[in-house]
Structure 1
Amino acid sequence: MTAPLTEGLDDRIPGDLATRGTAIGARVAGLGAAVEAARGRVADAVLDDVAAAVDKSTGRLRLSARHTVVAIAGATGSGKSSTYNALTGLELSSVGIRRPTTSWATAVVWGSAGAGELLDWLGIPPRHQTMRDSMLDTRSESEFDGVVLLDLPDHDSTEVAHHLEVDRLVAVADLMVWILDPQKYADAAVHDRYFKPMGTHQDVMLVALNHIDTVPPERRQAMIDDVRRLLAEDGLPQVQVLPISAKEGIGMAELRAEILRRVNDKRSTSLRVEADIAAAAGRLEQAGGTTPAAELPRRRVEEVEDRLADAAGISAVVEGIERTVGERARSAVSWPPLALLRRGEDGPGDDPEVAPLDRAAVDTTIRALADEVSDGVGPAWAPRVRESASARLAATGERLEKGLREIDLGGRLPAWVGLVRLLHWLLLVAAVGGFAWWAVAAVQGTTEDLTEVAGLPLPAVLGIGGLVLGLLLAAVGRMLVRGLARQRADQADERLRGVVHQVLESDVVQPIGVELSSYAAFRRGLETARA
């Protein structure tokens, strides 16, 4: 199996001087990041194919930078080998019925220095290599210095080995020159197998319409325009089309000049690598998803929290807390005689409890969130998003129920309520005792002997003071009780919703966030690779 692209990035590509610190290196790194994010989500076969394509392309950059690999490809009878011979000035490729059956390509190299490693990488056997500057019977053509010209087998051959050889070399050539025949230029074999998949490689392609001498002059332009139309339908509107006749020499100077222009431009190799990276990114995007990266809105999470809170009956519990605490506190701070009179009216009732969780509502709410979020990611991520949110629904329900049951709802009254109750009884005792003392003294006729305070007998002061202070304390206590009940209700609401928030974050939001972050990294990597 092909090594993962991330291994290639870690062990080879960044450390290679051919790509380090370059735009191509950044694009390769971006593609590597996309592959890293896609692991476990996109099929390994796709990722390994992308890895192989990028390793192959960047491998070319580590080889001879002074050579440009130009591949001549075409169908049987297209005149490909005649064109090859015309370009080299040598009879190196057999034509017509003399066409060999070998599945190997042949290569002519202008400027052999440093070409050996490149030819080995291309897989061209030594017996199929010709060093153009070593031919003593011809002059050295310095203008082609650095060109490695390949003659590929016929791409429409019935031999499978020929197809494989063409596919292999088309995938690595710096410049591809496709030779078409006026009789077969619309053949689906070349358009479907080679042209349509190469929409990203327009800058490293040329098309030569051969045997143009067999076409009446008045029909030639129409035929060239038709070739261009077909190329545009294949997604290759920018590919240059040259009419030639290798047999008669028509257009060969123009073809040779265009090849030389691109060779001298010294960008064919890098353009080829960039095109390969873009094509690999396109395949990866097709498998992973084209949807722009999205985030999980906080507002949507809060809506889900509210629905889960409703499923737990938190609002009813909070209302119960406010009512129960209020009734108990009011009873505790009321003037005892009045509290006795009202005992049957609004008793404190039972302690509020969290009702059983509506599991069906919880499951439906979480699944709906997962489905909604999965629409915002690519098809490779959508199942993972749904699974991350809904795979633990039973455990999520149990955690919610357990966490809500363990919350202290704050039903116990604070110490100051007990102190107010004690003061009430002390004031009641003072009032009853003072009035009783005064009454006894009046019956015994000893009221004149009682100590006076502010013009009133001391027992009267005690009785009236206890009564007034008790009623005043009851009024103040009722005002404090309203705030206490609301405070306890707010605290209970915060604690209960805190449990819902914590469980939702850990069991749903964070797992979804991991997938969304992974998809965002995937999209960023692709954007970098295709920049």
Structure 2
Amino acid sequence: MKLLRRKEGPTLDTRLAALLEAATLGEGRLPEQDVSAARTVAERAGVRRELSLDHTVAALAGATGSGKSSLYNALTGQDLADVGVTRPTTSTAQAALWDGEGAGPLLDWLDIPRRHSAAPDPNLTGLVLLDLPDHDSIRLSHRLEVDRLVEQVDLLVWVVDPQKYADAALHERYLRPLAGHRDVMVVVLNQVDRLPAEAVSRCLDDLRRLLDGDGLDGIPVLAVSARTGRGVGELRALLGERVSERKSWSARLAADLTAAADRLAASGGSPEEGDTPVTAADGRASAGTRSAGTVSVGTVSVGTVSVGTGSAGTVSAGTERALTGALCAAAGVPLVVEAVAKGHRHRAVVATGWPVTRWVRRFRPDPLRRLRIGGLAPGKRPGLAPGERSGLASSKRSGLVPAKRPGTASAKRSGVTSPGRPGASSVGQPGETGTGRSGGEVVERQGGGIVGRTSVPAASAVQRAQVETAIRDVGEAAAAGLPGPWAAAVRQAARSRARELADAVDRAVATTSAVGTRRPLWWRAVNALQWVVFAVMLAGALWLGVLFGMDYLRLPEPPLPTVGVVPWPTVLLVGGALAGVLIALLSRLAAWAGGRRRARRTAKALRTAIGEVGGKLVLEPVEGELATYARFVEALDLARART
């Protein structure tokens, strides 16, 4: 039979590291005072853990006239603290040590200069007892001293008297906020010698009721009289028990860690009730891993973020498609796809047309060159026909092609173009400019060809608005169900790289479209065939020219071969011309079909490439923020776990 063992909780060191991680992850997202408080608690806990663990620091804290100093003297067996009528009597904290060897660094950290050796007591060996100033002193320095030491000592002994045990300042400022520290707190009702015997029990019951209302149910409450010695022995025994356990310091640090983690959670570090939290299998999520056709911005798991539809903290595939569609429209993908089809037909005619008439096509502008697509280096236009030059000139005037001086005044005023790219496609937010290279700079080599900036017309105001709406929808969908600060961080992450969209999308259009402009191999074969046919036609023409010259000179006519009744020179001339025209027509039909097919492939490739740009610049930052939140929640839960 297997023995069932209780699963041990995380160690104090593990919780300490988890709190520091949670504070680091929450920095810049959660309120600064809460993050700083968590860091301070973690650092203080780390320092206390490194100091003497054989000593327990207990502090007597209370209001003016509660008898702290008298109780302090009674516990130490010496008149170490001044007791008098003048208030406040205690101005600075002092320490009484039972076997104080090795406690020096600890008291230095606590900044307690006044130190005394108490009467030896084997049961209290290792106890460091502090007498604190009054927490309600009229002097601010006294109250600040109390607040500082209350946050640092291992055990708190609150001394109250029958007249002021219900003081709101004590309960609201100290006891209620320290409800999570009940394991390291003791409440002492002093001066019970002034009450009748039956009144003592009533005061204790009323004090217990108040403490229960503060969330301190179960906390030890003792009736003590420092003047008569009643209950002092019981208090000494309780202190001796806590000292012998050597656990007060760890219990105090554990309570501090829990309180700091709870404060981070309350400031917006955990989902509200009813929300769907983001969970992490190991606290890590890959921002760059997405399943095919999905958006990884939902429930965090190892290496991926799955997609949900309509659930909290998810982005549906429809939202991703809307983002890609808006980017494609703003990037001028329909125009580019149409230009690819027309450019394919135009270049096919130039490459496979009848050599006698194909040169006329060169006077027409190439649609792809007008958009600076097709492997032509920016600023260099070798072999441009007059029609293409005029087309480029008109494109400059219309804003389709970058001018020589980047950044015209109108472009700057409109704020829709990137620096050095007037007239280029812009898909960012209004007033945001790209940060890429200038319009005349080479950005990438694709398949041996130089790819530069395109001259796709700038996105319209409507298209830019559609992009903004799509980005906002991604942020809103991913932020659904998250706490306020983290939801704001997710929405900001969706917009964080919007300035880069214009350049990135334009590069994607340039590189992807350049691949779609490669010359098919059959163009070369048809071109060679056309020149062979043209050579045949030219041979027939020359032959007929020689015959005409001989006839003109009245020279004897040589034997002339025939095909039936038609001479061979005529067959070569007419047949070559007809064959060239027929080949050109068939090539044009093939180019038309090939252009449509290439346009479809280019449209698909462009959508995929632009979708990857949207994923990298919009979805990945969102995924990263959600993964950070998942790690934060896991670290926060670990920091709040009981050791």
Q: Give the whole-Å Cα distance in 1 for the aligned partners of 2:237 and 2:321.
A: 67
Aligned in 2, Cα 1:405/1:118: closer, same or farther, shift over 3 Å?
closer
Structure 2 match to 1:493: 604
Aligned in 2, Cα 1:115/1:290: closer, same or farther, shift over 3 Å?
same
Structure 2 match to 1:209: 189
The alpha-carbon deviation at position 293 of structure 1 amounts to 4.9
CA contact (8 A) 1:71 1:173 kept: yes
Q: Give the whole-Å Cα distance in 2 for the aligned partners of 1:192 and 1:225.
A: 16
Q: Which residues in structure 2 correspond to 1:113-512 (within 5 Å)? A: 113-126=101-114, 129-133=115-119, 140-212=120-192, 213-214=195-196, 216=199, 219-220=202-203, 222-232=205-215, 236-287=216-267, 289-291=269-271, 293=278, 297-298=295-296, 299=317, 301=320, 303-312=322-331, 314=333, 357=459, 358-374=463-479, 379-380=484-485, 384-390=489-495, 393-401=498-506, 403-404=508-509, 407-408=513-514, 410=516, 414-416=520-522, 485-486=596-597, 488-502=599-613, 504-512=614-622
| Matched residue type, 1:369 | V
Aligned in 2, Cα 1:361/1:246: closer, same or farther, shift over 3 Å?
same
SS of structure 1 residue aligned to 2:89: coil
Structure 1 match to 2:60: 72
Q: For each residue in 1:13-43, what CA deviation from the matched residue of structure 2 results, as whole angstroms up to 9, or x when unmatched? A: xxxxxxxxx9222222222323333445556
CA contact (8 A) 1:112 1:131 kept: yes
The alpha-carbon deviation at position 150 of structure 1 amounts to 1.3
| Matched residue type, 1:501 | E
CA contact (8 A) 2:344 2:591 kept: no
SS of structure 1 residue aligned to 2:57: strand
CA contact (8 A) 1:72 1:178 kept: yes
Q: Give the whole-Å Cα distance in 2 for the aligned partners of 1:185 and 1:270.
A: 29
SS of structure 2 residue aligned to 1:97: coil
Q: Give the whole-Å Cα distance in 2 for the aligned partners of 1:376 and 1:506.
A: 23
Aligned in 2, Cα 1:117/1:419: closer, same or farther, shift over 3 Å?
closer
Q: For each residue in 1:492-519, what CA deviation from the matched residue of structure 2 results, as whole angstroms up to 9, or x when unmatched? A: 32134303422x2443334444444444
Structure 1 match to 2:390: none
Structure 2 match to 1:63: 51
Structure 1 match to 2:639: 529
CA contact (8 A) 2:18 2:635 kept: yes
Aligned residues: 474
Q: Give the whole-Å Cα distance in 2 for the aligned partners of 1:384 and 1:231.
A: 35
SS of structure 2 residue aligned to 1:76: coil
Aligned in 2, Cα 1:255/1:483: closer, same or farther, shift over 3 Å?
farther
Q: Give the whole-Å Cα distance in 2 for the aligned partners of 1:64 and 1:412.
A: 76
The alpha-carbon deviation at position 261 of structure 1 amounts to 2.0
Q: For each residue in 1:314-371, what CA deviation from the matched residue of structure 2 results, as whole angstroms up to 9, or x when unmatched? A: 46865886799799999x99xxxxxxxxxxxxxxxx9698775322211221133234
Q: Give the whole-Å Cα distance in 1 for the aligned partners of 2:110 and 2:191.
A: 30
Q: Give the whole-Å Cα distance in 2 for the aligned partners of 1:145 and 1:53.
A: 28
The alpha-carbon deviation at position 285 of structure 1 amounts to 4.3
SS of structure 2 residue aligned to 1:184: coil
Q: Give the whole-Å Cα distance in 2 for the aligned partners of 1:99 and 1:33.
A: 46
Q: For each residue in 1:49-97, what CA deviation from the matched residue of structure 2 results, as whole angstroms up to 9, or x when unmatched? A: 4444333333222332221111111112323333333333334334451
Q: Give the whole-Å Cα distance in 2 for the aligned partners of 1:177 and 1:256.
A: 12
Q: Give the whole-Å Cα distance in 2 for the aligned partners of 1:252 and 1:100.
A: 23
Q: Give the whole-Å Cα distance in 1 for the aligned partners of 2:57 and 2:330.
A: 69
CA contact (8 A) 2:472 2:491 kept: yes
| Matched residue type, 1:492 | A
The alpha-carbon deviation at position 310 of structure 1 amounts to 4.6
Q: Give the whole-Å Cα distance in 2 for the aligned partners of 1:301 and 1:243.
A: 69
Q: Over aligned residue pairs, what C-alpha RMSD do you find?
A: 5.2
Percent pairwise identity: 38
Q: For each residue in 1:246-279, what CA deviation from the matched residue of structure 2 results, as whole angstroms up to 9, or x when unmatched? A: 4454444443332222221110011112222233
Structure 1 match to 2:14: 26
Q: Give the whole-Å Cα distance in 1 for the aligned partners of 2:615 and 2:632.
A: 23
| Matched residue type, 1:103 | S
Aligned in 2, Cα 1:49/1:221: closer, same or farther, shift over 3 Å?
closer
| Matched residue type, 1:106 | Q
The alpha-carbon deviation at position 220 of structure 1 amounts to 4.4
Q: For each residue in 1:214-246, what CA deviation from the matched residue of structure 2 results, as whole angstroms up to 9, or x when unmatched? A: 5626634641442233222xxx33433334444
Q: Give the whole-Å Cα distance in 1 for the aligned partners of 2:330 and 2:152.
A: 61
Q: Give the whole-Å Cα distance in 1 for the aligned partners of 2:111 and 2:527.
A: 99
| Matched residue type, 1:130 | H
CA contact (8 A) 1:211 1:245 kept: yes
CA contact (8 A) 1:359 1:397 kept: no
Q: For each residue in 1:187-209, what CA deviation from the matched residue of structure 2 results, as whole angstroms up to 9, or x when unmatched? A: 22112221233233222111223
Q: Give the whole-Å Cα distance in 1 for the aligned partners of 2:131 and 2:266.
A: 33
CA contact (8 A) 2:60 2:158 kept: yes
Aligned in 2, Cα 1:404/1:356: closer, same or farther, shift over 3 Å?
farther
| Matched residue type, 1:390 | R
SS of structure 2 residue aligned to 1:177: strand
Structure 1 match to 2:392: none
**How high is the TM-score relative to the length of structure 2?**
0.59
CA contact (8 A) 1:68 1:147 kept: yes
Aligned in 2, Cα 1:484/1:26: closer, same or farther, shift over 3 Å?
same
| Matched residue type, 2:112 | I
Aligned in 2, Cα 1:320/1:64: closer, same or farther, shift over 3 Å?
closer
SS of structure 1 residue aligned to 2:159: strand
Q: Give the whole-Å Cα distance in 2 for the aligned partners of 1:324 and 1:66.
A: 85
User: Which stretch shifts more, 378-387 or 272-281?
Assistant: 378-387
Aligned in 2, Cα 1:106/1:398: closer, same or farther, shift over 3 Å?
closer
Structure 2 match to 1:345: none
Q: Give the whole-Å Cα distance in 2 for the aligned partners of 1:315 and 1:176.
A: 74
Aligned in 2, Cα 1:65/1:158: closer, same or farther, shift over 3 Å?
same
The alpha-carbon deviation at position 44 of structure 1 amounts to 5.8
Unmatched runs of 5 consecutive residues or more in structure 2: 1-9, 272-276, 280-284, 288-294, 297-316, 353-365, 372-455, 534-562, 565-581
Q: Give the whole-Å Cα distance in 1 for the aligned partners of 2:204 and 2:118.
A: 35
**How high is the TM-score relative to the length of structure 1?**
0.69
| Matched residue type, 1:117 | P
Aligned in 2, Cα 1:265/1:303: closer, same or farther, shift over 3 Å?
farther
Q: Give the whole-Å Cα distance in 1 for the aligned partners of 2:149 and 2:37.
A: 16
Greater fraction of residues in helix? 1
**1:103 counterpart (91, 102, 121):** 91
